[in-house]
Chains A and B, each alone.
Chain A
Amino acid sequence: MRALGRRSGAVLEGLADAFAAPAEPLPRPATTAMRVDAQRWLAATPVGQRLAVRGALVALELAGRLLRPRVGFAGRSRAARLTLLDRLGRIAPPVDAAIDALGRMAVLAYWSDATVQHALGRVDGSPVATGTTTTGAPR
């Protein structure tokens, strides 16, 4: 079974959109490779955890359909998604912590995308910092 289905993948992209709020020049999450990266990342987790993440993403989608304006999480506007997340987070601290964890996962997958990094001005791509002018003591 794939770590992310069509629906859970769209919810993850929606989470990245809500948490990272990309705007020009940053690309929309759905146009990046974040779903592929997240898919691969989740595949490395134990099956129980994988199912829990996928279940939580689907539950988020369903919660959107149950609560006004009765639109699934992925189909909502960014503002409506954030409102829903805040509302769900107020249920209990562990729910808020779980939302936070999912959001961070989505944010990492989004910011790992090469086009996002490029838009940020990070064109090198090399993990080795060489010749940097910012390594030493502050002025």
Chain B
Amino acid sequence: MTRTIHADVCVIGTGPGGAPVACRLAQAGVDVLVLEEGAHVDLATAAPRPIDAFTDLYRDGGQTVAIGDPAIPIPLGRVVGGTSAINSGTCLRPADAVLDGWAEQLGLEQLRPAELAPYLDEAAAALGVTRVPPEIAGRNAHLAKRGADRLGWSSEWLPRNAVGCRGSGRCVFGCPTGAKRHAGLAWIDDALAAGARLLDRTRVVAIESEPGPGPVVVRAGGAGGALRIVADRVVVACGSLLTPSLLRRSGLAHDNPHLGRHLAIHPSTAAAARFDDELVDVAHGVPQSFGVDQFADRGLMLEGIGGPPEYLAFTLPLRGEAHHAAMLEHRHWAQLGVMVRDRAVGRVVDVGRGPLRRTVVRYDLDPADRDALLFGIERVAELWFAAGAREVLLPIAGLPPLRDGDLRPLRERRVPAGAMRLMAFHPHGSARPSADPRDGVLDPDLRVRGTSGVYVSDGSALPATIGVNPQLTITALALRLARHLLDRPAPRAGALAHLHA
């Protein structure tokens, strides 16, 4: 039997796109129903080990993969808080040039730096964004900073959404102290306190929306059986890889040529470095506490990574005795990642029919992005040697370890994309907005074109590749959408400055 639930607004997804909308609407007295496919759990105890986190907090066991040359894993969260529950917490603002580019290319004047600034301020204040204090940054970060300083490169302690962080070293496996203010903590708890309802472990099947005014129906299923939700408005916030699929199978914008296209993912990789005489201990301290923006004009960001020993074992590009020897000295290994602002060549497609229907992500690394990544990998190696590393391992199949500052083995090698071991953490842009209906899936207010009451609020609504960790921008766009749905004027720029002065 199907149960029917009525709400003013139904929000699908509790990540950085959905949760702020749910919270702000509920606080304004709107009757909000929130649906989440994952569970509402206490992250402090939900996953004691990384393998438990992959199993219980990540979508598809953490094995969501973009198919292409090379195949690129894209780990996503499936838990209240979405991917923000298992990300590193970095909250960087988009560059003004990026926002201006969105305005110029897609006519999105509403997202010019001055227009978006108040929402970014509000997001940063609500998330408790502050720069990582050096004393909890971890020695991995201090060593990376030493290398950057010796090379004269621009770098910074990264801004993160953590309050009272103790540097437990496992942000991406669920913060064990509750310091990281992921979307579940920062917004959903307040939304529930304000009267919103949450149905976790609930999967949306389809959205039924007529072109004209009228209620929107969401069909879903969960532990309690089949659900039919009738709402005035629906906010889709399933993430950049799932939102296009839900819209498509709901017959919404399914014939829009931009739906599922323009997918950017920020291809990333990391290099490990061994320090003979110094303890690094990547298991301690904030894993992503430090970044190098020296090469931002090339679209490159270097950012710290780290985690418990088994995470290091998982990431070291070694086999056999070499792996064993490295792990016995695991406290001497450092890691630094590099990501590129890519050319958004990916797409999200659906294959198969009925119960066999699957969402597939296609992504082939653009040659220019491959070259940029190789440049970035070389810079990471250079940084580690400048910091005093004896040996550097690069994520390239067949490449021997680099030793004693000698970069020639990398420079002399032709590296095809397929030989690179990549990951990606920031899928976005797959349902982009635009001023001209011919250029995008959404209108500038993030409404799905052809509907009167279906909106998108997640990474897929970013107009184009952003070049920095997108959490803060997604949250800002969500706050802007909430204000639009409440029909309130935009805040003044700087109105919230006192909150994070």
Q: Are A127 and B319 touching (Cβ within 8 A)?
A: no
B313 to chain A, nearest CB (A): 4
Give the interface segment out of A5-13, A43-51, A54-62, A65-73: A43-51
Flag whether B283 is at the interface (Cβ < 8 A).
yes
A101 vs B314: C-alpha distance when bound (angstroms): 9
- For residue B54, CB closer than 8 A to chain A, the reply is yes
Q: Within the complex, what minimum Cβ distance (angstroms) separates B146 from chain A?
A: 7
User: B420 to chain A: closest CB distance in Å?
Assistant: 9
**Is B51 a contact of A134 with CB atoms below 8 Å?**
no
Q: Which of B131-139, B197-205, B229-237, B493-501 contacts A (4 or more CB under 8 A)?
A: B131-139
Within 8 Å of chain B (Cβ to Cβ): is A85? yes
Asked if B189 lies at the interface with its beta carbon under 8 angstroms from chain A, I say no
Q: How long is the Cα–Cα vector from A125 to B65 in the complex, in angstroms?
A: 31
**Across the interface, do A21 and B324 meet the contact criterion of CB distance under 8 Å?**
yes
Q: Which residues of A contact B65 (CB under 8 A)?
A: 49
Contacts of B143 in A (CB 8 A): 138
Interface stretch, picked from B5-13, B167-175, B374-382, is B167-175
Closest residue of B by beta carbon distance from A110: B313
Q: Mark B273-317, 1 if CB is under 8 A from A, else 0.
A: 000001111011100000000000000000000001111011101
* Interface contact tally, CB-CB below 8 A: 152
Give Cα distance in the complex from A134 to B134, angstroms. Answer: 13
Complex contacts, B319 vs chain A, CB 8 Å = 18-19, 21, 82, 85, 103
With a CB–CB cut-off of 8 A, which chain B residues contact A135? 135-139, 167, 284-285
Given A108-B51, A134-B284, A136-B139, A97 and B60 touching (CB < 8 A)? Answer: no
Residues in B neighbouring A92, C-beta threshold 8 A: 418
Interface string of B64-106 (1 = CB under 8 A from A): 0100011101000000000000000000000000000000000
Chain A at the B interface: mostly helix, strand, loop or mixed? helix
Contact A111 B313 (CB under 8 A): yes
Query: A107's closest neighbor in chain B, by CB?
Result: B313
Question: Once the chains are docked, how many angstroms separate the CA of A120 from the CA of B138?
Answer: 21
Q: Quick check: B135 and A117 within 8 Å, CB to CB?
A: no
Q: Is the CB of A45 within 8 A of B421?
A: no
Of B51, B134, B137, B330, the most chain A CB neighbours within 10 A belong to: B51
List 11 A–B pairs whose Cβ atoms lie within 8 Å, in order of A's numbering.
A46-B358, A92-B418, A94-B70, A108-B311, A112-B49, A112-B310, A125-B48, A132-B281, A135-B136, A135-B167, A139-B278
The 8 closest A-B CB pairs, nearest first, are A93-B418, A111-B310, A44-B61, A21-B324, A45-B61, A111-B313, A134-B281, A108-B314
Q: A117-B309, A129-B168, A137-B139 are in contact. List 5 more A-B contacts (CB 8 A).
A: A44-B55, A44-B61, A93-B416, A108-B310, A108-B313
